[in-house]
Structure 1
């Protein structure tokens, strides 16, 4: 996991409010990482099932239940090892 991964997940979680459904461009505008990096990390997070498509045709992502569990500290780092590349 990277700092960008945490920033993406925290943005989508929108703690204290309803989770956000967002495009990579909107995420990029809110977390201060370049769009290419956000897209790369979203693919990795999707592979690890930490985010999921809300609407694949429109490129809308949302945090998954597994992503919420990660942010709560309920997943072991070993379970997420392949997302750090």
Structure 2
């Protein structure tokens, strides 16, 4: 079970799944090769937001890679609403190295 934050969309899961399976990808490549039924512009916007939330990292030239937090979300180990790991004692280093239980949303 995944714990999606209220800021997330269905496109975010598809993008994270694609990056998890393919290691890297650009919005154009995800649109062309992946099962993502959104425009390249929408994929690009969501990749930028996922990068802001540290679920993916922008490598440059429009190429993204999934982060450890992104993988943890896909595996149902990270709640992206309150940025807490599920069933884990250690939550150090979650979402911008915050030591608080919650993160103020933009």
Global fold match (TM > 0.5)? yes
Structure 2: where are the runs of 5+ without partners? 1-7, 84-102
User: For residue 11 of structure 1, what is the aligned residue in structure 2?
Assistant: 18
Paired residues, number: 77
Structure 1 regions of 5+ residues with no counterpart?
Answer: none
The TM-score with structure 2 as length reference comes to 0.65
Shift of 1:20: 2.1
Query: For 1:2 and 1:38, how far apart are their aligned partners in 2?
Result: 11
Among 45, 52, 57, the residue aligned to 1:40: 45
Runs of 4+ in 1 over 4 A off after TM superposition: 80-83
- Structure number with larger C-alpha Rg: 2
* RMSD, aligned α-carbons: 2.0
